[in-house]
Amino acid sequence: MEWHEIYAGLTQDPGRPEGERARVFAWLELEERIRRWAEHDSRTTAPLPVDELVSDTCEAVWRNLPAARGGATFAGFVFGQYRNQRRLRRSREPRLSRRPVDAEPRLPGGESALDEHAPAGANLEPAGEPCVLLLQLRSCLEQLPTRPRAAVKLRFLDGAPSPTGPE
């Protein structure tokens, strides 16, 4: 289905039986195209809540459909609605700080807790208090997409004990 066909399907008279059918097929195709954009962006940039972004974009397209200038420019209209929703979604998400960490957690013997040569059974709770920095690092790590998270774990944390116990 081409963009002008999607536009024509969405603007069909719902009172006619063929109009309702065309509208349903156009809506499904619209959702699929927006989903492809959202999944691509989620893989290549920061992770996005794809289903929510698709839903919000489709709703914005439907709400602003009278402002569309026809089938010839409908693809640009939909992409503009998508970009607006993506920007709104990203502005609502908490941002991770890119400031450098002032200090790294230390084991009771003075060794770095992040050192790949740290003993596997090392105590990461000096003086009975949880190692807050390591907890923060692990929290940030959980926000990474799956593949980068696995790479960081393999490179830097393989064998390091969890501050809250076995995972």
- What value does the mean pLDDT take over residues 54-77? 94
Residue 50 has pLDDT above 50, yes or no: yes
DSSP secondary-structure letter at 157? I
Measured distance CA(8)–CA(23) in Å, rounded: 8
Which among 31, 37, 36 has a CA at the least distance from the CA of 60? Answer: 31
Instruction: Enumerate the domain spans of the chain.
Output: 3-92, 96-167
Q: What is the phi/psi pair of residue 150, to 5°?
A: -65, -40
Which two structure tokens, joined as six digits, stand for 36? Answer: 């492809």
Give residue 124's pLDDT: 47
Output b/e per residue, 62-98; b: 16+ Cβ within 10 A. Answer: eeeeeebeebeebeebbeebbeebbeebeeeeeeeee
Give residue 33's pLDDT: 96
Measured distance CA(142)–CA(72) in Å, rounded: 44
Assign residue 119 a region: left if phi > 0, alpha if psi is -120 to 50, beta otherwise?
beta
Task: State the average pLDDT for the chain.
Answer: 77
Angstrom distances, CA of residue 79 to CA of 11, 58, 61, 140: 18, 11, 9, 31
pLDDT in tens, 106-162: 555 666 655 554 445 544 444 444 466 667 777 777 788 888 888 777 776 665 555
Q: Are 41 and 86 in contact (CB under 8 A)?
A: yes
H helix intervals, the chain: 3-10, 17-44, 50-63, 74-92, 132-142, 146-152
